Amino acid sequence: MLALLLLACTDAGVQTYNTPPTTAIITPEDGTAVDPGDLVELYGVARDEQDAAGTLQITWQSSLDGVFDTTAPDGNGDMHLAKNDFSAGLHVITLTATDKKGEAASTSINLQVGDGANQAGAPAIVIVSPNEGEQVGSSAVIDLLATVTDDHDDPASLPIEVVDDPDGIVWNGYPTATGTLEAPFSPHTLGVHTITVNALDSEGKKGSASVSYEVIQDNVPLVNIKAPGDGEWFDTVDSITFRGNVTDDTTPNEQIAVQWTSDIQGVLGAAVPDSSGDTTFATSLMGGTHVITLSATDLDGNIGRDTMVVNVDDPLARDDDGDGYTEYGGDCNDADDTLSPGEIDICDAIDQDCDGYINDPYWDTYEYNSGMGYAYHLGNVDGGGLWSNSSIELSGLTFSDATDDDWFYWEADDEIWDNVDVQVIASGLNVAGDYVIELYSEGGTLLGSDSGDGSITTTFTSDIFDDGDDAFYVRVYAISWPAGSCSTSYKLKIKS
C-alpha cells in the first residue's frame, strides 16, 4: 500500500499554470471612418507572461475581408502595418494572439470604410450600455440602451438594426418618440463581442455606433476596469488612479482576491474590493505602453480578468524646448532652447553647454587648478625641466569668470640649506579689475601678498636656520573681475 501511495505522489508531478496572452489595438481608434483607398495605419500590442512576444501566433482579421496579416510581433510585442485596400463597409478588425500552449486572446475595433456612415446630418447614436469592455456571464441578458437623434426625422421613424458580432442580427425595430432605444438580447458565444447599432434616415444617411463587451463562462468572477480609459496617456510623474469592479455569483465581493498588474512592471497593487466590488488604488508608471490587467479570483479558485492599455510618457525623454536635446540627453534646462549640450559657452555667468562648468572654452592650459588641492605642479626648481636659472615664466593665463582662481605649486629644496628667496610677479592684469597674489608655504601659511592691477608682486625671504621651506603655493585671483574679460591673459613669473 505504501508503494502505491508513493507511486501516486510521484505520478502527480508539478503542473505549471499558463495564462493567455494580452492584446490591444492602439490605432486606429474604435469607430474610425475612412474613405475607400485611404491608408489605414494599424498598430497593435501582443504580450504573454510565459512566452516571448516574438513566438506568439498572430492573426489580423476583418469581418468583411478575412485574415489579412499573420506577422509575428517584435521582441517588445509591437506590431505595425499599413493597408489601403479594405473593402467598403463596416469592418470589425480583430487582433488575435495564441501562445505556445494554444491559449488565445483577442481584441476588436470597428472600422467604417465608405458608404457615408456617420456623415454630416446622419442619425447620431450614443450607446449608454453596455460599457466598453464590460464582462457578462454566459447566461446573462444584455440590456442594450441607446439614444438616437436626427437633424430632420422624428426618432420614432428611424429603422434600427442591432448587429452583434459574432452572433449576427439580434434586434430590429424603432426607437421611442424621445429617441430611446431598448433592445434586450442574450449572447450565444463566449469571447469578445461587438455590438453595432445602425440607423437610416429618410435622406438615406446612415448612423452607426459600436461597443465591445466580453462573454465569459458563468461562475467566473466578472471583472470590469472603469478607469483610466483604454489608451489614455499619462506622464511618469503622474499618479494614475485605477478603478475597477469585480463580482461573483457565489463569493462575497469583499472576499474576492484582486490583483492589478502591468506587463512591463509586474504587480502594481492588490486593493481589496468593498462590498460593492469596487477596487481602487493609485500609482505612477514608468514610460512605455502598459497592458494593465485586473484579475479576480473567487473562493473556488475561478479567475476572471479584464485588460486595457495605458500609455505613459517620460517628460525627461521629451525635448520640450525644441533644441534637439532631452534632459536624459544632457539638457540642463529643457525650458530654454539656448541652454543645451549643443551650445557653446560665451563669456558670462551662464553654463550654455550644460557641462557643469562656466566659460570652459576660455580656460587656460593649466586648468583645472582652482583651489589648493588642484594646484598645478610646476616641478622641482633644482630638477630643471621647465625651470631656467631657478625661474619660470607662464603666459596665456586667464580668469574665465569672477570666481576663477589660479593655483600653482613647486618644490624649492636646495638640498643643503632651505634658505630659499621667492619672488612672484603677475603682470598684464586688466587695469579695469582688481587682483590679488598670495604666496603660501607647503603647510598653508600665508607668506606674503599684494593686490592691484597691471602688475603685482609678492616676495619671501627664508630664514637660513629654518629647514622647513621646501615647497610653495602661489594663488592669483580677482576681487573685481571686469565682465566679459574671459580671454584677457596675464603672465606669471616665479623666481625661486
Question: Each residue of 365-420: pLDDT tens digit?
Answer: 999 999 999 999 998 886 666 787 788 999 999 999 999 999 999 988 655 545 67
CATH of domain 360-495: 2.60.120.380
Q: Cell 498588474 appears where?
A: 261
Whether 364 and 401 have beta carbons less than 8 Å apart is answered as: no
Domain 224-313 has CATH 2.60.40.10: yes
Indicate the SS3 state at residue 107.
Answer: strand
Q: What contacts 445, CB < 8 A, 6 or more positions away? A: none
Whole-structure pTM over 0.85, yes or no?
A: no
Give the model's pLDDT for residue 12: 45
Judging by beta carbons within 10 Å of its beta carbon (0-12, 13-18, 19+), is residue 86 exposed, middle or buried? buried
Q: Which of 92, 73, 123, 120 is nearest to 28 (CA)?
A: 92
Residue spans in the chain of domains classed CATH 2.60.120.380: 360-495
For the chain, the farthest-separated pair of C-alpha atoms sits apart, in whole angstroms, at 120
CATH class of 124-216: mainly beta
Distance in angstroms (rounded) separating the CA atoms of residues 425 and 494: 7
Judging by beta carbons within 10 Å of its beta carbon (0-12, 13-18, 19+), is residue 452 exposed, middle or buried? middle
Size (the chain), residues: 496
Distance in angstroms (rounded) separating the CA atoms of residues 126 and 496: 94
Give the model's pLDDT for residue 117: 67
Give the model's pLDDT for residue 4: 36
DSSP β-ladder status, 160-165 and 191-200: antiparallel
Q: Which CATH number fits domain 22-113: 3.40.50.12140, 2.60.40.10, 1.20.120.140, 1.10.3720.10?
A: 2.60.40.10
Give the model's pLDDT for residue 316: 83
Phi first, then psi: what are they for 3, rounded to 5°? -65, -40
Give the model's pLDDT for residue 11: 44
Distance in angstroms (rounded) separating the CA atoms of residues 267 and 270: 8
Residue spans in the chain of domains classed CATH 2.60.40.10: 22-113, 124-216, 224-313
Give pLDDT < 50 ranges for the chain: 1-14, 417, 465
Give the model's pLDDT for residue 5: 37
Whether 236 and 287 have beta carbons less than 8 Å apart is answered as: yes
